[in-house]
C-alpha cells in the first residue's frame, strides 16, 4: 500500500501529507493484492491451512517448536495462550513475514507458503489484520473501501477511476457488513477505535481473501464494540475462514467453535472452549487457578 501511495503522491497536483495511513511504518493489512482467483485454491479435503512440524528460532530461542495446526475451510478458530507463546510468530510464518527454519506450510492442497514472498501470499488470498488500524484518516469510509478494492492502481488513479455498478454494490455490501453505512462519507479519522478496526476488516474483505488472520482484534475496544466484533466474525465465518488470536475469554465464548491453546511454540490443547478451559495444563500455564 505504501509503495502505491508514494508512487501516486509524487504526481504534480497531490499533497502527499494528506494521505498517509496511520501505521505507515507497519506492513499494510490491506496488502497489495487484487482479488484472488478462487480456482487457485484447492480445498478438496476441506483443509485450508496445514502446518506441520514448523520451527522458528531467534538466536537459538525456539519461538515456534514443532507446531502442527490444521484449519478447515470456513472455520472460525480462536488461538489463545500466554504472552510469548508464539501466536504472532505463527501468523508471521503463515503470511511469509518470517521464514520457518523447517516444516511444512500449505494453503489448500497445493500452495506451499514457504516458497512464496509476503506480497505473493497476500495476493493469493491470505489477509492479515494487525492490532493498530491502518486506515487512511483523511479519506472517507467509502473511499477507504474503494481504495482497498483497487489498490493495484494507486491512490489517485483509484479515486479518479469511475466505479462500476458491481463495484458500488460490493462496497455497499461491505459497509453493511461492518455496520458503517451511516458513516460512509465521514473521514475515517473521526471514527471510534472500534469502528476503525471494522473499517480495516472491511478493507481486507474488499480484496476477497480466503483466509483472514486477526491478531487481538478486540484489544482496546469497549465491551459493546467487542460484542459487535464477535457478531461480525460469526457472520463472516463460513464464507471466509478466520483465525483469531484473543485474550478476552468472554469474547472467545461468544464466537468460539474450536479453540487452540499455544504454549512455548507448540499446541498445548485443542478442542471446544469447555475442553480447553478444563485442561489441567491450560489452567496451569494460562488461565490460572
Ligand atoms: N523478531 C524476533 N526476534 C527475537 N525474538 C522474537 C522475535 N519475535 C518474537 N520473538 C520471541 O518469540 C517468542 C514468541 O513471541 P510472539 O510470537 O510474539 O508471542 P505471542 O504473540 O504469543 O505473545 C517471544 O519470546 C518473543 O520474545
Ligand atoms: Mg502476539
CA 265 – ligand 2 centroid, Å: 12
Task: Look at residue 116 in the predicted model and tell me its pLDDT.
Answer: 95
Residue 44 CA to residue 106 CA, distance in Å, equals 13
Task: Look at residue 133 in the predicted model and tell me its pLDDT.
Answer: 74
Tens of pLDDT, residue by residue over 48-70, are: 999 999 999 999 999 999 999 99
Average pLDDT of the segment spanning 128-156: 84
Task: Look at residue 37 in the predicted model and tell me its pLDDT.
Answer: 56
Least confident of 93-97, 98-102, 204-208: 204-208
Residue 170 CA to residue 162 CA, distance in Å, equals 14
On the question of pLDDT at 46 being above 60, the answer is yes
CB atoms under 10 Å from CB of 59, counted, come to 4
The pLDDT confidence band at residue 23, using thresholds 50, 70 and 90, is very low
41 touches 125 (CB < 8 A): yes
Task: Look at residue 158 in the predicted model and tell me its pLDDT.
Answer: 66
Average pLDDT of the segment spanning 189-217: 94
CA 94 – ligand 2 centroid, Å: 14
**Domains of the chain in sequence order:** 2-287 (3.40.50.300)
Task: Look at residue 39 in the predicted model and tell me its pLDDT.
Answer: 60
Residue 49 CA to residue 120 CA, distance in Å, equals 16
Task: Look at residue 8 in the predicted model and tell me its pLDDT.
Answer: 35
CA 190 – ligand 1 centroid, Å: 33
On the question of pLDDT at 255 being above 70, the answer is yes
CA 88 – ligand 2 centroid, Å: 4
Task: Look at residue 164 in the predicted model and tell me its pLDDT.
Answer: 86
The residue nearest atom 16 of ligand 1, judged by CA position, is: 86
Task: Look at residue 29 in the predicted model and tell me its pLDDT.
Answer: 39
Q: Mean pLDDT, the chain, as a whole number?
A: 86
Residue 265 CA to residue 66 CA, distance in Å, equals 7
Residue 171 CA to residue 144 CA, distance in Å, equals 10
Mutate to test the pocket of ligand 1, among 54, 55, 56, 58 (most ligand atoms within 8 A of CB): 58
- Nearest Cα neighbor of 124 from 245, 243, 43, 244 is 43
Note the ligand closest to the C-alpha atom of 260.
Answer: 1
CA 4 – ligand 2 centroid, Å: 28
Comparison of pLDDT for 198 and 257, the residue scoring more: 198
Mutate to test the pocket of ligand 1, among 55, 60, 61, 63 (most ligand atoms within 8 A of CB): 63
Residues with CB under 6 A from ligand 1: 58, 63, 81, 83-89
How far from each other are the two terminal CA atoms of the chain, in whole angstroms? 45
The pLDDT confidence band at residue 156, using thresholds 50, 70 and 90, is low
C-alpha cell at 4: 502505491
Residue 35 CA to residue 31 CA, distance in Å, equals 11
Q: Is 1 helix (H, G, I), strand (E, B) or coil?
A: coil
Mutate to test the pocket of ligand 1, among 67, 89, 216, 246 (most ligand atoms within 8 A of CB): 89
Comparison of pLDDT for 248 and 93, the residue scoring more: 93
Average pLDDT of the segment spanning 152-176: 82
Comparison of pLDDT for 133 and 36, the residue scoring more: 133
CA 147 – ligand 1 centroid, Å: 32
Task: Look at residue 33 in the predicted model and tell me its pLDDT.
Answer: 40
Residue 275 CA to residue 138 CA, distance in Å, equals 46
The pLDDT confidence band at residue 22, using thresholds 50, 70 and 90, is very low
The pLDDT confidence band at residue 155, using thresholds 50, 70 and 90, is low
Task: Look at residue 152 in the predicted model and tell me its pLDDT.
Answer: 62
Comparison of pLDDT for 161 and 134, the residue scoring more: 134
**Helix boundaries (H) for the chain:** 2-9, 87-94, 118-123, 141-149, 155-160, 165-177, 193-206, 223-236, 249-255, 273-277, 280-282
Beta bridge partners of 105: 51
Residue 257 CA to residue 125 CA, distance in Å, equals 23
69 touches 260 (CB < 8 A): yes
C-alpha cell at 155: 491512490
Task: Look at residue 27 in the predicted model and tell me its pLDDT.
Answer: 38
Amino acid at each position: 500500500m505504501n509503495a502505491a501511495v508514494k508512487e501516486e503522491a509524487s504526481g504534480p497536483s497531490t499533497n502527499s501529507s494528506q494521505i498517509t495511513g496511520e501505521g505507515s511504518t507497519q506492513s499494510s493489512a490491506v496488502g497489495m493484492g487484487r482479488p484472488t482467483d478462487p480456482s487457485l485454491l484447492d480445498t478438496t479435503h476441506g483443509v485450508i491451512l496445514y502446518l506441520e512440524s514448523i520451527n522458528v528460532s531467534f538466536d537459538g530461542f525456539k519461538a515456534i517448536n514443532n507446531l502442527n495446526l490444521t484449519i478447515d475451510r470456513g472455520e472460525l478458530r480462536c488461538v489463545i495462550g500466554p504472552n510469548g507463546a508464539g501466536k504472532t510468530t505463527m501468523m508471521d510464518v503463515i503470511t511469509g513475514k518470517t521464514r520457518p527454519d523447517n516444516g511444512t506450510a500449505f494453503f489448500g492442497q497445493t500452495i506451499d507458503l514457504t516458497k512464496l514472498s509476503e506480497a505473493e501470499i497476500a495476493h493469493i488470498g491470505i489477509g492479515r489484520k494487525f492490532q493498530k488500524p491502518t486506515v487512511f484518516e483523511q479519506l472517507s469510509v467509502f473511499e477507504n473501501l474503494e481504495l482497498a478494492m483497487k489498490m493495484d492502481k494507486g491512490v489517485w488513479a483509484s479515486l479518479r477511476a469511475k466505479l462500476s455498478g458491481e463495484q458500488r454494490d460490493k462496497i455497499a455490501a461491505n459497509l453493511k457488513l461492518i455496520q458503517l453505512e451511516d458513516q460512509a462519507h465521514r473521514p475515517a479519522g473521526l471514527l471510534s477505535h472500534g469502528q476503525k478496526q471494522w473499517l480495516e476488516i472491511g478493507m481486507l474483505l474488499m480484496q476477497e481473501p480466503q483466509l483472514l488472520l486477526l491478531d487481538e482484534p478486540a484489544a482496546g475496544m469497549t465491551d459493546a464494540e467487542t460484542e459487535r466484533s464477535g457478531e461480525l466474525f460469526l457472520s463472516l465465518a463460513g464464507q471466509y475462514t478466520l483465525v483469531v488470536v484473543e485474550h478476552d475469554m468472554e469474547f472467545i465464548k461468544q464466537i468460539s467453535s474450536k479453540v487452540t491453546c499455544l504454549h512455548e511454540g507448540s499446541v498445548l490443547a485443542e478442542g471446544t472452549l469447555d475442553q480447553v478451559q478444563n485442561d489441567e495444563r491450560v489452567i496451569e500455564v494460562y488461565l490460572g487457578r
